[in-house]
Chain A
Amino acid sequence: MSIVEISRAPSIGRPIAINWLRELSARQSALTGAGVLLVVAMLPMGFAFLLDTRLFNGIDVWIKPLKFALAVAIYMFTLAFFASWVDEKVGTARWFRVLSWATASAGTLEVFYIALQASRDEASHFNYTDNLHMALYGLMGIGATLMISFSAILGILIARNGKLDVAPVIKDSVVLGLTLAFVLTLIPAGTMSAMGSHWIGGVHSDAGGMTLTGWSRDGGDLRVAHLFGTHAMHFIPAFGVVSALVLGPEKRWPVWLFTVVFCGFVAFLFFQALAGQPFLPRLH
């Protein structure tokens, strides 16, 4: 049982990026394919961003699809990375491959619709203008729920894989990260969907938002809890690796303690937004 096993290092020779993509593709080709597709789609969207002068919610129309393409691509690559951690029989089973394809398709279609709506200078999420757009927004919700469910399913399958040859603390951190990413995403995302907006108080515009993230600086913004909640799948396993290296691979409690603290942090962000408080207020 070694820590090295957590990521089989690709052979040296070819460019590292290509090696990593080969490795990910061998682990789960549909999810990796979707990730590659989304990264490639960022090139023309990036060019459109340079050309388009139209604004939506106070910022360039192409910022939202670019952010979603990057985020969903990272999500797909993460799922592909951990897909080989499930029992080999499960990983090659038909239902698992179908589910992977469904997740990959849901993520790709989600970004496609967001980009299509951006190109028309219209809302994708929270679009209540007519029945068609309400129905499409509903479909986005179903797609997004399907997409994030795969994380929890993967977490449970990895927990049940007794043959997995990784350090206990690493296994715990991955199981906790993948499962909690589902829970901590669904709560803030479901809440903003039910409320019809991710802004609570403040000016409903991205124009004065934080650099890169666009989070509100004068009111509550549920996107903060959504981001940190979803990234549980990265933060907790990353802590697991550090813990294994520093405190030893057999000690499991540090990662459980970290998980409790992390959940508390996301809960704090969630209630902070609900109270109409910005994550980082603007300095005067």
Chain B
Amino acid sequence: MDPDTIFRTANLLALAGWLVLLASPLWPWQAERLSGLAIPLLLSVAYCGLIFAFWTSGKGGFSSLGDVARLFQTRQLLLAGWIHYLAFDLFVGAWIVRTSRSEEIRFWAVVPCLVATFLFGPAGFLLFNAIRSTKSIAAQPGMSTKVMS
């Protein structure tokens, strides 16, 4: 099994997970199980397998940026790093969907967060928490309510 085949398969799998999340209002329970658990777990198995087989062949390390760059010169470890992205981003995407349901945030507000997480990971996480905070601020009794009561 060559790295390019694994790369394509992992990408397809992650993409399917994101599509399921976008359609999650239709089947919330199944979407959560699939995109929040099954697919990230499958990607994790692939990640661990790659690390098990190739961690000794990598040069470099984590102590400097140059070391990290050298580590990713090994194609299989670069692939492992990419699968790490895919798995954890999707997991965060599923967490966003789950949290938005329990906190009654409307799905149209969640969609841009999902897109941002898919493309830029932490940016989507930041956006979602920003939206969350505006909602919780709005829910608290503010100045205007005090005046009215």
Same assembly: yes
B-contacting 9-mer, from A99-107, A113-121, A185-193, A231-239:
A113-121
Which residues 11-53 of A sit at the B interface, judged by CB distance below 8 A? 43-48, 50-52
Proximity string of chain A (202-227) to chain B, C-beta cutoff 8 Å, 1 when within and 0 when not: 00000000000000000000000000
CA distance in complex: A62, B44 (Å): 18
Check A119 against B52 for contact (C-beta < 8 Å). Answer: yes
Q: Specify which chain B residues have a CB less than 8 angstroms from the CB of A120 in the assembled complex.
A: 56
Query: Inside 8 A of A48's CB, which chain B residues have their CB?
Result: 48-50, 52-53
B49–A44 CB distance below 8 A: yes
Bound Cα distance A121, B56 (Å): 9
Q: Please, which residues of chain B bring their CB within 8 A of the CB of A47? A: 45-46, 48-50, 52
B57 nearest in chain A by CB position: A54
Most buried by A among B50, B52, B76: B52
Residue in A closest to B42 when the chains form the complex, CB atoms: A43
- 1/0 per position for B68-111, CB-CB distance to A under 8 A? 00000000100000000000000000000000000000000000
What chain A residues lie within 8 Å of B44 (beta carbons)? Answer: 44
Q: Which residues of chain A come closer than 8 Å to B48, judged between CB atoms?
A: 43-44, 47-48
A44 to B50 alpha-carbon distance, docked (Å)? 8
Q: Is there contact, CB below 8 Å, between B49 and A50?
A: yes
Given contacts A47-B45, A51-B1, A51-B76, contact A115 B56 (CB under 8 A): no
Of A46, A51, A62, A119, the contact of B55 (CB 8 Å cutoff): A119
On chain B, which size bracket covers the interface?
A: 10 to 19
Q: Are A44 and B52 in contact (CB under 8 A)?
A: yes
Residues of B contacting A52 with CB < 8 Å?
52-54
B49 surroundings in chain A (CB, below 8 A) = 43-48, 50-51
Residues from chain A with Cβ under 8 Å of B76 in the complex: 51
Judge whether A119 and B45 touch: CB under 8 Å: no
Flag if A44 contacts B45 (CB, 8 Å): yes
Bound Cα distance from A43 to B45, whole angstroms: 7
Contact present for B52 and A45 (CB under 8 Å):
yes
Contacts of A50 in B (CB 8 A): 1, 49
Give A276 Cβ to nearest chain B Cβ, in Å: 36
A49-93, CB under 8 A of B: which get 1 and which 0? 011100000000010000000000000000000000000000000
Point out the residues of chain A lying under 8 angstroms from B47, CB to CB. 44
Expressed in whole angstroms, the Cα–Cα distance for A115 and B53 within the complex equals 10
Residue of A nearest to B6 (CB): A51
User: Looking across the interface, which residue of chain B has its beta carbon closest to that of A46?
Assistant: B49
Q: How far is the CB of A67 from chain B (nearest CB, A)?
A: 15
Q: How far is the CB of A62 from chain B (nearest CB, A)?
A: 8
B55 proximity list for chain A (CB < 8 A): 119
Q: In the complex, A120 Cα to B48 Cα: how many Å?
A: 15
Task: Note all chain A residues with C-beta closer than 8 A to B56.
Answer: 119-121
Give the distance to chain B from A41, nearest Cβ to Cβ, in Å.
9
Nearest B residue (CB) for A47? B49
Q: How far is the CB of B2 from chain A (nearest CB, A)?
A: 9
* A50→B76 CA distance, assembly (Å): 13
- Distance, CA A115 to CA B55, complexed state (A): 13
B positions within 8 Å CB-CB of A:
1, 6, 44-50, 52-56, 76
- A interface, CB within 8 angstroms of B: 43-48, 50-52, 62, 115, 119-121
Q: Given contacts A47-B48, A50-B1, A121-B56, list 6 more A-B pairs with CB under 8 A.
A: A44-B46, A44-B48, A48-B52, A50-B49, A62-B53, A119-B56
- Give 5 CB contacts A-B under 8 Å: A44-B49, A45-B52, A47-B45, A50-B49, A51-B6
| 4 tightest A-B CB contacts, nearest first | A47-B49, A44-B48, A48-B52, A52-B53
